[in-house]
Amino acid sequence: MGESTSDTGGVSRRALQQREGAAGSAGVSRRELLKRAGVAGIVFTLPAGTALTPAAMAARRTAAQAAPLTAAESATLEAILERLIPTDATGPGAREAQVGRYIMGALSGDLKSLRGAYSAGLASLDAYSTATLGAPFGQLAPEQQDAVLRDVEGDKATGFLPNSSTFFETVREHALQGMFGDPYHGGNANFVGWDLIQFPGIKLTVPSVEQRIGTKVKPAHKSTTDYAIFKISSGG
């Protein structure tokens, strides 16, 4: 069965932002579609990087390549990420996981084609924040930032192309990837994302006892790059 549940892969989505009208006409709300797209992910056509250690790969993606966003844009993005996945009573958030590093790396590589959408969305966010609350997003208080993000999520914010929720869903999806994806992609630093959801890490063999209800599985804190049998190349 496919690819029908929210926690398995197989389904991928493509450039949702290009399909606003059609999705609506099928009787599916955009929000539903985007949530489901969450089920799924996005198809991108640019080649992946070649195999390196997690640290080397992350470093390469930030240092060796031209910065995909300006310092100001990057600061605004970090401010968004801190509200999406805050550092709080339940532990480390986007800041500690280096979710921003994941997104910057992706925008320099596999997600390069979205660079323009990020720049435009961040500019629209600052413009909307300034128009409604008198200051750019990064200078607002956390509660004000949350209010702005709720407007952006709910398509109540103006000045975005094609609309604000497309920008919101793009950033949220990438934030989740950076928080809960394999650390070699640049985020989930020190496995803080996986610890939050009690995902034990990559294991090649999972014993029966770890599939029983109630078993407390010890974190392995392993990346897929910790296993020498894999070669991670573009494959195509």
Q: Tell me the C-alpha distance between 3 and 9, whole Å.
A: 6
Task: Identify which of residues 122 and 175 has a Cβ nearer to another protein in the complex.
Answer: 175
Task: Please list the alpha-helical segments (H only) found in 66-141.
Answer: 71-84, 94-97, 99-108, 115-133
In whole angstroms, what separates CA 120 from the centre of its chain?
A: 18
Q: Residues 4 to 33: which contact another protein by CB under 8 A?
A: 4-16, 18-19, 22-23, 25-26, 28, 32-33
Q: Which is nearer to another protein, 7 or 71 (CB)?
A: 7
Please give the size of the binding site for another protein, defined by CB under 8 A.
93
Q: Which of residues 32 and 156 has its CB atom nearest to another protein in the complex?
A: 32
By CB atoms closer than 10 A (0-12, 13-18, 19+), residue 118 is buried
**For another protein, which residue of 35, 55, 131, 135 counts as binding (CB under 8 A)?**
35
Q: Of residues 50, 53, 190, 233, which one binds another protein by CB under 8 A? A: 233
Scan for tokens 């209010």, then name that residue. Answer: 147
Cα→Cα distances 179→93, 155, 221, Å: 8, 25, 14
Among 65, 146, 147, 155, binds another protein (CB under 8 A): 146
52 binds another protein (CB under 8 A): no
Minimum distance of another protein from residue 186's CB (angstroms): 10
Instruction: Scan residues 82-121 and list those touching another protein (CB under 8 A).
Output: 83-86, 88-91, 93, 110
- Can you state the angle between helices 115-133 and 142-153, rounded to 10 degrees? 120
Asked if 235 is part of the footprint of another protein (rule: CB under 8 A), the reply reads: yes
Collapsed DSSP state (helix, strand, coil) of residue 177: helix
Residue from 43, 63, 64, 71 touching another protein (CB under 8 A): that is 43
Question: Measured from the CB atom, is 71 or 83 closer to another protein?
Answer: 83
Residue whose CB is less far from another protein, 116 or 210: 210
Amino acid residing at 98: Q
Q: By CB under 8 A, is residue 36 in contact with another protein?
A: yes
Residue list 161-220, contact with another protein (CB under 8 A): 172, 175-177, 179-182, 185, 193-194, 196-200, 202-206, 208, 210-217
Nearer to another protein, 53 or 70 (CB): 53
Check binding of 71 to another protein (CB under 8 A).
no
**List of residues 6+ apart from 169 with CB closer than 8 A:** 16, 34, 37, 38
| Residue 60 touches another protein, criterion: CB under 8 A | no
What does the CA dihedral 19, 163, 156, 43 come to, rounded to 10 degrees?
A: 60
CA 16 centroid distance within chain: 16
